[in-house]
Structure 1
Amino acid sequence: MNLESWILLDTETTGIKAPVYVVELAAQRMRGWTPEGPSFRRLLNHNAAIPPEASRVNGYTREILERDGEPPRQVYDAFDRYVGERPLVAYNLRHNSGGQCGLARPRVLAGGNPAWVIVRREPSIEPCGVDGNGHVDA
């Protein structure tokens, strides 16, 4: 890792059954293992129902997101600017995205163990795999 710059990412979602929406997107720029600069944290309002079991885990209700959340496109655009060209690292995103490895725009992210992610910008949810170099490619 040395002094390589990367992004540590965490999400909260509406659950594990499709359709799955990200309701919180949080990230921290890292240089090696040291946090660098301000963190990123935004709530997303998809105007979608949040199952009670998801609310018990993440603490968010539709009312909270309607009050404090921002339009998803606005959040993803801000996140895209925050990330720049840095690789993303996430843990257990397969669980947080309804059994899929990817999340919708701005990036397709890794699931399972922390992994370097090959960046894509298409707005889609796609299964992912690991290439021969240990990179996740969706």
Structure 2
Amino acid sequence: MTRQLVLDTETTGLDPRDGHRVLEVAAIEIFNLMPTGRHFHRVIDPERDIPAEASRIHGFTSIHVEGKPKFAAILAELEAFLGDDPIIAHNAGFDFAMLDAELARCGRPALPRTRMVDTLEIAKKRFPGMPNSLDALCRRLGIDNSMRTSHNALLDVQLLAQVYLELMGGRQPGLTLAVERAVPVLAAGEVAVVRTPRPIIVPEEVLARHAEFVGKKLKDALWLKV
């Protein structure tokens, strides 16, 4: 089976070389282009101020990160969730660079670029010369993004997963209507819901009456040829 992670970060700015930090990271798991229901989501204390221009994009202010764990405290959980599998992100080079800077502060190696799957680059090849932001792709591919009033990492990865599946050849029906598995998500105390299929059982006498009707009342019935 092919496991992939769809990932997004929110940050205090655009360049880690200027001291900007990750303040939110989210990822969801997909197997063979189908969501499993497992996700990782943490809001992080970036250990610095959040510039007003960044707050206008994602809505986070210092109040929202007060008392949240620092990146080092969530690193073990994040690494365990990501494993060694491919990581899908939109403009992935940015997210990888921001995470690499955080990993370096913790004495950890950078994420291998062989794991990177950039949906922005995929979209540019499929729609050359067209706007290929996440919002533009949602509109073009018929994906409802009406709830995206600001950049939120968890909502963004859910939308990006749908965009990615469309870019890869068509959305799987189970993406939005998937049977949720009994797999614990990584937020404390949360467990995915299990929905048990309930097949409709047709009584034998009803099947017999239907067979009699088809055989006697319908000429050249398609049912009898299948």
RMSD across aligned positions (CA): 2.6
Q: Distance in 2 between matches of 1:112 and 1:20?
A: 23
Q: Distance in 1 between matches of 2:73 and 2:58?
A: 22
Unaligned runs of 5+ in 1: 116-138
**8 A Cα contact 2:8 2:95, kept in partner:** no
**8 A Cα contact 2:6 2:28, kept in partner:** yes
1:76-120 CA deviation, whole Å, 9 max, x = no partner?
A: 2110111222221212144457xx5763326537689338xxxxx
1:15 maps onto 2:18 in alignment: no
**8 A Cα contact 2:13 2:54, kept in partner:** yes
What is the TM-score when the length of structure 1 is the normalising length? 0.67
- Matching residue's letter, 1:51: P
Q: Distance in 2 between matches of 1:91 and 1:7?
A: 12
- Identify if the C-alpha distance between structure 1 residues 44 and 75 changes in structure 2 by more than 3 Å, giving closer, same or farther: same
Larger Rg: 2
| Matching residue of 1:4 | 2
* Greater share of helix: 2
Q: Distance in 2 between matches of 1:38 and 1:47?
A: 28
- Matching residue's letter, 2:32: G
| Matching residue of 1:85 | 84
What is the DSSP-based 3-state SS (H/G/I as helix, E as strand, rest coil) of the residue aligned with 1:64? helix
Q: Distance in 1 between matches of 2:62 and 2:43?
A: 11
- Matching residue's letter, 2:38: P
Structure 1 segments of 4+ aligned residues over 4 angstroms from their partners = 109-112
1:29-75 CA deviation, whole Å, 9 max, x = no partner?
A: 111221113211101102210100100101111121014x2121111
1:54-133 to structure 2, matched below 5 A, reads 54-67=54-67, 69-95=68-94, 100=97, 103=100, 104-105=102-103, 107-108=110-111, 113-114=118-119
- Identify if the C-alpha distance between structure 1 residues 81 and 113 changes in structure 2 by more than 3 Å, giving closer, same or farther: closer
* Greater share of strand: 1
- Identify if the C-alpha distance between structure 1 residues 89 and 72 changes in structure 2 by more than 3 Å, giving closer, same or farther: same
Unaligned runs of 5+ in 2: 122-226
> For structure 1, which segment, 84-93 or 102-111, has the greater mean C-alpha deviation from structure 2 after superposition?
102-111
| Matching residue of 1:50 | 50
